[in-house]
Amino acid sequence: MTKFYTTTAIDYVNGAPHIGHAYEKILTDVIYRHFTQRCEDAYFLTGTDEHGIKIQKTAAEKGISPKEFCDMNAQKFKDAWKALDIDYSQFIRTTDEQHEKIVQKIFKKLVEKGDIYKHSYTGLYCSGCEAFLSEKDLTEDGLCPDHQKKPEVVEEENYFFKLTKYKDAIIKHIKTNPDFIVPSFRANEVINQLEDIEDISVSRVKTNVNWGIPVLDDPEQVIYVWIDALSNYITAIGYDPDGNSDKFEKLWPADVQVIGKDILKFHSIYWIAILMALELPLPKHILAHGWITIDQTKMSKSLGNVISPTAVLEAFNLDIPDPLRYYMASAAPCGKDGNYSDEDFKEKVNAHLANSMGNLLNRTLSMLVKYFDGDIKPEFLNKNELEKQALETVKAVKHHFDYFEVQEAAQKIIELVDITNKYVTDNAPWTLAKEEKMDKCGEVLTNVLQVMTVISSLIYPYCPNIASRMAEQLGYDLDIKLDDINCRYLKAGHLINKDDIKPVFLRMDSELADKKK
């Protein structure tokens, strides 16, 4: 691979980041970090969506300008992603001057092409969704199914995008590219939505919504969410109707765009139609992940079960975010819903990261010091009995990531850890040392440590800090590409001293300070 470009949905800044937001960013970060191990040019875009009526109203209630409100909340998302070690390449805000200018150009280009037209319209508008809904979208009681509120009747003259013009082309693309939508079982859902698709409003009258990007040549209209927010994926990397940047030419199309299943329609239909209208290549994959429930219950402000990701780090006194990253990234099979609970979090992380993986490295290094003063002797470097399984795991992990199966890849890594633990138990180096079979004892310990170098590379996307701690004690270079990994990295000579052996991750045994919160 020469390049890998991935994006997340941009988060609406009307509230603070919660664990659902964190799940998407962690999932994408793990995918991104994995592909940095396979190609030279990997790029990861995330950001915030900052226009619209909800921002306008909330800012007015707080007595501050919409921009001040956006600045304050956008920083909350940046702070949360920093705490979680989200290693994004760029953070775009839709209030960025460059983004706004290019969005205006995109809008004008589509008007000139005839794909955007002005039309008087009476529709049902849900302020919670910031979208016009049709009768069939509503419940039997005429309510928005997501917000359980009756939409207001809005009569405006707006600009509309000719979505229906691209209906057949989108259906054809989905059917001829079965891996375009991930997981594939969601493709039929999208095709069904396309059957009754209508042209969509892409502007609002400024007297009703003034917090938005003005339409060039028609300042009484502001550009509505679809052209504004969705275009961030290309404006961020230098798309310009008047001439694209080298960066855009290198990175586009996106290799995978990671979004929640609830906004799949907007990305697999609206966004694709906009790209077709702009005559741009389509993203290679759209990954629609599931939701994260809390103790098997959907997150809800009214239920009081909305969890901040940084609150989890603080509650468990975690000095690194790796446990939460690992837990969230492995919370659900590709595209399915996952669940967070305090007990499951602690038990799973303790079992996998502390007991199985961390303890394996710690006790193996300790035996190397105890029996051989931390030295690897030349006679220990015979053919590694675990090499085949280790390299098969590398291959399997790469295969799962090719299909964005992040949980499934994590399972393969832990399986290798379990196999290596069993190898230690079966060969009992402590018994070999007691029987003075020192060459065999040293060979077993070296075989395990060679596998641990592989494991440190594989676990790195999930647990970058733990992987770095492992690599430091093994004298291993984490920058080695996955294609170059082998089980023979360690060489004869001194590896480690007793004082340098430290647990890479301690068990989480502390309870939450206040479980009622």
* pLDDT confidence band for 511 (50 / 70 / 90): very low
* pLDDT confidence band for 516 (50 / 70 / 90): very low
CA-nearest of 260, 350, 287, 183 to 19 is: 260
Question: Which residues share a beta bridge with 157?
Answer: 120
Report pLDDT digits (tens) over 212-268.
Answer: 999 999 999 999 889 999 999 999 999 999 999 999 999 999 999 999 999 999 999
Q: Cα separation of 14 and 301, whole Å? A: 13
CA-nearest of 405, 409, 24 to 179 is: 405
Q: Cα separation of 446 and 384, whole Å? A: 8
pLDDT value at residue 515: 41
Report pLDDT digits (tens) over 268-303.
Answer: 999 999 999 999 999 999 999 999 998 887 766 656
Name the average pLDDT for the chain.
94
CA-nearest of 105, 222, 102 to 159 is: 222
pLDDT at 419 over 90: yes
Q: Name the residues annotated as catalytic.
A: 18, 21, 126, 129, 144, 147, 298, 301
Q: Which residues contact 102 (CB under 8 A, 6 or more apart)?
A: 231, 235, 239, 240, 241
Residue pair 295/305 in contact by the 8 Å Cβ criterion:
yes
Question: What's the whole-model pTM score?
Answer: 0.93
Domains in the chain: ranges and CATH? 343-500 (1.10.730.10)
Comparing 147-161, 321-335, 439-453, which segment has the lowest mean pLDDT?
147-161
